[in-house]
Structure 1
Amino acid sequence: MTSGLTHRTAPEPLRRNRDYQVWWSGAAVSNIGSCLLATAVPLLVLETSGSAGRAGLAAGAAAMAKLLGSSPAGALVDRYPRRALLLVASALQFLAAVSLLAAAVRDHIGLAHLVTAAAVEGLGYSLHTATELPLLRRIVPEEQHRSALSREQSRKATAQLAGPPLGGLLFSWSPVAPFAAATLCFLGVTGAALALRAPLGPPVRDPAPRDVPRRTTPLAGLRHVRDSPFLRYMLVWFALVNGAFAGLGLLLVVLCHDRGAAAATVGLTQAIGSAGAVAGAWACERLTARMAGARLLGAASWMLVAGTVAMAVPLDVPLVGLAYAGALFLTPAVNVSFMEYMVRTVPEHLTGRISMTMMTAARSLNWLFAMTVGAMADRWGPLVPLFALAGLFLTLACAGHARGSVRVSADLGGL
């Protein structure tokens, strides 16, 4: 008789993994809802007030909510039932969209209402995001993590590709339409949470040392990052790059608006830009298999410089989106390399806290960049903040080469 313990059967392909397909589909629909709001809210502000500063304020409120919600969300998913937390996240996003829909129907939408709704949706998004890595560890076998993480990037990039043009088209038809569509989209995570069969955790017992007070355990993720030179390096890189992206995305809308583009054309240009991330996401499994993580990080930094500078060239509006696409192309591969490192090295009972500690850093400057870029564009026009962002990307690229990426190579080189 042959023992069943002498060998391990190969896992089924991801396309046959029911739970992964359910999660991917529900999260994709919810991501489209977030993209619809991200397009419709600034368009509504520009349409009613013409102020890029107010549009930046609304975008900054969402970014601030995501920042403040990240660390608490990470602690929650490490301690409380993740299925219930997914339902709470979906409810927050749904309520935010419903409130905007009701206000749009009444044709009475104040800036304070927009800011509050954007903040509530941002909190729901943070809680949803915090579950992603812990949930993936539960429903995907270890040997398929790289492939699953690559598909997660494809899902987010595809939502960013589909959401903006859909939001622009719906807004051009009726200001109410994108908010109605977002309301339905935010039910996607609810459906996924109810349909998943696998236990989602967290582990029953928290293996934190007994001599560590329970109230301090949410800081375990921060302590882990503090003790890792590589994680500290990436914490700074993600904070600056993601903050700059918050400003760059707003500038893309402002540039298109200043050049006389209609709402539908603004959405199309955003879609062209997002196509760069989609193409990078589709290619990132091959890229991460063939390129060391440090090399990917350096190449991504220089593409950010080139793409941002190219956006300033006075070309047709859709070509501005093409320049934005070039800036985004390698970022999904950098994300996959980093997340695979996290899944491979971080204990499950700390996954939520550590991943959201990094996410908090990645979002820490988004609100500041969005508001500052909006104010600068109001005062000096969009080219001044655009070149300021290009200068920041150039500084990061040069700093990476000056440091030699030695510590980054040590950690990411084998991925």
Structure 2
Amino acid sequence: MTTVAKSPPDGPVTPLHRNRDFMLLWSGSAVSIVGSTASTVAYPLLVLALTGSASDAGIAGFFALLPTLLFQLPAGALVDRWNRKRLMIWCDVLRCLGAASIVAAMVLGELRLAHILVVGFAEGTFSVFYGLAAHAAVPNVVGPGQLRQALSHNEARGRAATMLGTPLGGILFGVGRSVPFLLDAVSYLVALVGLLLVRKDFEAERTTRRTGGMASQVWEGLVWLKDQPFVRATTLLVAGSNFLFRALFLIVIVMATAAGASSAGIGIMVGAAGAGGVLGSLTATWFGRRFSLAALVIGANWVWALLMGVIVYADHLVVLTVAYAAMWFVGPVWNVAVGSYQLAITPDRLRGRVLAATSMLSAGALPIGALVGGLLLDAVGPQRAAAALAVWMVLLACAATFSRSVRRSTADSVDS
């Protein structure tokens, strides 16, 4: 198992809230996440208003998500080859222009479905590049011993911004169809200004020239991942839990409806789950300092398995909401612990490619989970569908418990 080298800092480490470059990157990304989430909610509403076709809205959603599956691996190689800050700047510029083109077309009365599909696909593509570059840049922006804390801040930022952007998209669309997309364009401008003000480089000095084509560089990242048993095992466990969470989302909504929840009640339940995720993000550093990686990985899976049992037998909306929110609380604790370790041990020259490979595996389970959740509901009903997922979660917990690479992990911390 690879161990994390800990070198003492050369001098006093600037706290994150006083780290100018980190705060510029953090706050700019927070604003852009709010804008992009609002426009993501507004896109299907816009297509429905434009064409009146639910299938067209589904096609628009498919085109926006397709780059996540198509471009992760090549984007990872390019993130390791190109200047990351410059790449992120261009991504913000192009995403801003895409959102602005939607606004301009609506103002001129010339908006067409094809335009929406192209912009959605392009924005999704640039977001893949931006996300990988931003994640790979974190160790180069924060000080020694701050990686876990920085990822905890990023988790909280993403979840809080998504919580804000989701209802905001619907509200702003009601004010005017172009308003969410105008907000999206402005949010990318704000993030762009923040990036332009950052002084630090987003990659370590690259002293060797890369050789070989794209395929060989992607393969280099995959080989490195294959040789890291702990990272490989936890990536597969993440894929399994992502599959469960995506299937569970629809099942929980149906269970809440059966328990008498109104649409407002369901909104409150989803909001409570989001709040649980934010709280988990804020406490992730505390857990990481007190428990080993192996304990966190194994414990998280068993807590999820236990909460799935509660959900199966929940006969009251409050019990269902609390259990579901608790499941969301655990997720960021896992993400920060495992993610900070992975970033710490991955060589900077490989970070984009390794992040792309792990994202490809974990994100690939999401559409499958959505499909299986719907099929289970149709076939056996919500309670039995939840029971099937509970069995799946127990199997994942057993896999984590009996995994040699997880149990033998010698890395208790990535921070000093």
What is the TM-score normalised by the length of structure 2?
Answer: 0.81
Number of residue pairs the alignment of both structures matches: 402
Aligned to 2:4: none
Change (3 A) 1:98 1:140: same
Question: In 1, distance between residues paired with 2:53 and 2:187?
Answer: 28
Deviates more, 1:372-381 or 1:192-201: 372-381
Aligned to 1:349: 349
Letter in 1 for 2:227: D
Matches within 5 A, 1:212-231: 216-231=216-231
2:412 counterpart SS class: coil
Deviation at residue 68 of structure 1 after TM alignment: 2.0
Per-residue Cα deviation, 1:180-210 (whole angstroms, up to 9, x for no partner): 33332233432222111112346334466x7
Matches within 5 A, 1:9-408: 9-41=11-43, 59-98=61-100, 101=103, 110=113, 117-171=119-173, 173=175, 176-201=178-203, 203-206=205-208, 216-249=216-249, 261-262=262-263, 267-308=267-308, 313=314, 315-316=316-317, 321-374=321-374, 386-401=386-401, 403=402, 405-408=403-406
Deviates more, 1:186-195 or 1:17-26: 186-195
What is the TM-score normalised by the length of structure 1?
Answer: 0.81
1:330 counterpart SS class: helix
Change (3 A) 1:269 1:83: same
Per-residue Cα deviation, 1:304-349 (whole angstroms, up to 9, x for no partner): 3454565564645x87554432111121121122222223222111
Task: Identify unmatched segments of 5+ residues in structure 2.
Answer: 1-7
Q: RMSD over aligned Cα, in angstroms?
A: 3.7
Question: In 1, distance between residues paired with 2:57 and 2:397?
Answer: 30
Deviation at residue 108 of structure 1 after TM alignment: 7.1
Per-residue Cα deviation, 1:34-80 (whole angstroms, up to 9, x for no partner): 332444446667899796x8877655544432122221221111111
Question: In 2, distance between residues paired with 1:168 and 1:366?
Answer: 24
Question: In 2, distance between residues paired with 1:288 and 1:412?
Answer: 14
Deviation at residue 132 of structure 1 after TM alignment: 2.5
Deviation at residue 22 of structure 1 after TM alignment: 0.3
Check conservation: 2:231, 2:342, Cα contact below 8 A: no
Letter in 1 for 2:355: S
Letter in 2 for 1:397: A
Check conservation: 2:88, 2:134, Cα contact below 8 A: no
Question: In 2, distance between residues paired with 1:379 and 1:55?
Answer: 26
Question: In 1, distance between residues paired with 2:168 and 2:319?
Answer: 19
